[in-house]
Structure 1
């Protein structure tokens, strides 16, 4: 085989893969759970993105998200810090928190929708630190509720997230 033809074929492979990724993933069904975040007393209702199809779809094409609603992307292993999220086909601003194995926030961003039809033109939000899961909520939620680095995400126990230990 001619080396020039082989080079062209090999060079085209990444573009074929990208073209497949440009298709918006099919809508998914998500299980839900209640979680607590930092010092918030109100639990969050989060949809669980546990498999690759759910994670690929995420909050794409949603026109709104309830005030105390979000999505929790859970991975079975540690993700590298250069692996980030983007806002392709996402219509609403989102706050994102990258979480360590214990559910502590290691990095946050407020992400803006990307209006481009070309996903390569959408900014990637990479934490620069390894992470195990990701929480997405409405843009501005973290600032409004004083959520910051080191705050922890944990499963809710009951209807309130008020921590009883350490209080009299």
Structure 2
């Protein structure tokens, strides 16, 4: 059998397994990370074309507000929710899987609701003075819509918690029959 010329063999570092060994994840993951970096660089260049001093001040202010105000606030809130959930117990999540903290059923809808509020807060809190004149749309429904979405997220999470609790509840013991 004829061996292929060494020039035609794949380089061991460029093969899928070689990239996985050296990088720690799949080549697709590496490609997606590089694409996200390219997108972030593009957005940064476009953003800094306007007023770079104001943009830099906004980023510094946002980082300080997050680290000094929001992080302690949601850390304390999460710890309080964990303490309450630990008192209530854990939810079984499958025959061979570990029990899941019930606080996770509060974390996910709370995170999604706060993320929506962070993105849409000027409209939710009616802080856009010329919105109606500029767009021709009514800004009033945004608060109602955000509240409805938040209620739906928590209701869906409660339904998931109820389903997990009922599906994996231990069977009731049968009373022993007397002879």
TM-score range, shorter chain: under 0.3
Bigger share in strand: 1
Bigger share in helix: 2
TM-score normalised by structure 1 residue count: 0.23
Q: Which has the higher contact order (CA 8 A, sep 6+)?
A: 1
